[in-house]
A and B are shown apart, each in its own frame.
Chain A
C-alpha cells in the first residue's frame, strides 16, 4: 500500500526489473539542457556571484548533447550568452582528459572569447577538431 501513496508507480516495471536483477540507469550525456556548468575564464560575467548557477538552455548540435568543442547557450545572471564546452564529467574517447566539472568558456555571438585568460587546463584535442578553437587555445594557460 505504501507504493501507491507516493504517486503513480508502474508496478509491472518494478517487478520486471527486480526479476532481471540489474538496475537500468537513465541516458547519460555530457552537457544538455538544464545542466549546471562552470565558467572557467576570467570574464566579469562568469565570475561575479549570483544566486543561481549558470545553466545550459540550448545545445547547438543535431542531437541535444554537448561534448567538448560544442557551442551552447547559457542562462547566466538573467541574460543569455553563448559558450563553448571545454571539458565535461562524462568519460569521452580513450586518451582524452575527463574533468571533474563541466567546464565552459563564454564567447560572443561572433566567436570572440569574452574573457581574456583561462586558468583551468584545456584539452589539446580541441585543435584536432575542425572548428574555430584557435582563439580559445590562444588565451589558455595550460593544456592537458
Chain B
C-alpha cells in the first residue's frame, strides 16, 4: 500500500503526505484522478496526475451530477500515461503502445511489454492490478490476470487498454506488434497455407428459415 501511495505521489509531483491526507479525509472526497488534459511530461515530473479535493462541506452528502452517476462504471479507470509511467517504473523493456482506430472495436490502446523473467512478468502484472484496484471506484469490475499457469505470456484487459506481458522468446514467436499495426498486410498471413478441406467436408449453406 505504501508503495502505491509513493508512486502516486511521485506521479502527482506532490508529497506523500498530501496524498495520504487527501485519501483519509472522510468529509472531503479527494479525487485522485488522472488528468487527461495534462501534457505527457518526461523527466522527474510525472504525467498529469493531480490530487483534487472536492468542495463538499463536512456532514452534507455530495451531490453528483446524474450524468456522472450513469457513466461511473464504464469510465476508463487507468489513463494511458499513468499505465506507461507505471511500466517504466517497473523496469519493463521494450514498451510498445499501439493506438487502435475506432473501427477495430476492441480497445483504445494495445500495449506489449517484455519482461526479464517469469517472476518479473508476474510482479508487473500484479502491480498494475494493484494500482487499478486503488484507482477504481467501488462499482467498477475487478480486473484479472490471464495466463497465471503460463510462464512466458501474461495478459490484462482493462477495458479501454489491453496489456500483454511477454518474454522475449514469446514476443518473437507471436509478433503481435506486426499484427496490430499492419492488420491485413501482416506477413504471417501470407505464409498461411491454403486450407485443404477434408474429403468428407460437406458445405451446406443454410437459409435463414432454418434458424430459430
Contacts and interface: CB of A to CB of B under 8 A. Distances in A.
Contacts of B173: 116
Contact of A116 (B188, B200, B212): B188
Interface string A48-60: 0100010000000
A33 interface: no
B192 A119 contact: yes
B186 A141 contact: yes
Interface centre among B157, B176, B198 (most CB of A within 10 A): B198
Contacts of B183: 141
Contacts, number: 83
Chain B at the A interface: SS class:
loop
A127 B157 contact: yes
B200 A139 contact: no
Contacts of A133: 146
Contacts of B180: 138
Contacts of A53: 198, 200-201
B188 A135 contact: no
Interface string A115-126: 011010000100
Interface of A: 36, 42, 47, 49, 53, 91, 98, 100, 109-112, 116-117, 119, 124, 127, 132-135, 137-139, 141, 143
Interface of B: 104-106, 146-147, 149-153, 155-157, 162, 164, 170, 173-176, 179-180, 183-184, 186, 188-189, 191-193, 195-196, 198, 200-201, 203-206, 211-212
